[in-house]
Amino acid sequence: MYRVPSACSFEIAEFCIQYADDFEAMFGLSPDVFMEVAMYHWSIMTKR
């Protein structure tokens, strides 16, 4: 399940950056910070 977001991380990040203000209002983090944390988490989970 984690391999799909990990494989599409560039596309997800590009989409989130287009709506950065809305994204930050909803999640409390900028898309850059969110994606950095998410990619780290996804990389750990795909190694299991």
Is residue 24 very low, low, confident or very high in pLDDT (cuts 50, 70, 90)?
very high
Bigger pLDDT: 1 or 30? 30
Percent of the chain with pLDDT strictly greater than 70? 96
pTM: 0.69
CB of 23 closer than 8 Å to CB of 16: yes
Burial label for 22, CB within 10 Å (0-12, 13-18, 19+), is: exposed
Confidence of residue 5 (pLDDT cuts 50, 70, 90): confident
- pLDDT, residue 6, reads 73
Joined together, the tokens standing for residue 48 give 């299991």
Q: Given a cut of 80, is residue 1 above it in pLDDT?
A: no
